[in-house]
Amino acid sequence: MRSLVAILFFAIACNLNSFSQDKKEKIRWQEDRPLTLEDFKAEPDESLSYSANTNSGIGYSWDYSTASGTPVLKHEVTSNFYPELSWVKEVDDLEYLLAHEQLHFDISELHARKLRKALTEYEIGRNIRLDLKRIYNKIETERSLMQKSFDKETSHSENYEAEMRWRKFVANELEKMKKYSS
């Protein structure tokens, strides 16, 4: 009986591990690696009027130590694209649409750089965990608002002039924050 329970536990643990790894498929932002059609693996939502959906975001981890006698905060910030949650419908100008979706990913990278900067400049206080959570939440809120503004102003890529303004703006902002690229 114990061996049966152990086998069941092992089988469930393997399945859960397999499921969690599938769910976590991601592509890290890289300057020389634009998104391609093959990166969008989810089924398109035909009930929505827009032609694509990019699921991207920022994540971070940190470690705090006083082993050297001086407080040291180490951190890692990533900007990720999630293929299994992103989709593209068939359109006439796929290159233009992919550039719009890439800009969503670039906006996430811009905010990853802002988070790296904020964490680098953070002066270690008494409430590190709470302070870092506040910093992250502030930048994540800004990222989300910028994503929404981008889609609103470009009408989900339909407004060509607005699209070009946003491309220039985000490229300039990324350049300003180049010191904080990964």
Query: How many structural domains are present in the chain?
Result: 1
Contact, 140 vs 58, CB < 8 A?
Answer: yes
Write down the pLDDT at residue 110: 98
Using the predicted structure, report yes or no on whether residue 146 has a pLDDT greater than 60. yes
Using the predicted structure, report yes or no on whether residue 121 has a pLDDT greater than 90. yes
For residue 62, which amino acid is it?
W
What are the tens digits of pLDDT across the range 21-37?
Answer: 445 799 999 999 999 99
Residue predicted with more confidence, 5 or 154: 154
Average pLDDT of the segment spanning 84-91? 95
Using the predicted structure, report yes or no on whether residue 78 has a pLDDT greater than 50. yes
For residue 121, with 0-12 CB atoms within 10 Å meaning exposed, 13-18 middle and 19 or more buried, which class applies? exposed
Using alpha carbons, select from 119, 79, 106 the residue that is nearest to residue 174.
106
Using alpha carbons, select from 56, 59, 49 the residue that is nearest to residue 103.
56
**Domain encompassing residue 83:** 2-180
* DSSP state letter for 46: T
Using the predicted structure, report yes or no on whether residue 8 has a pLDDT greater than 60. no
* DSSP state letter for 151: H
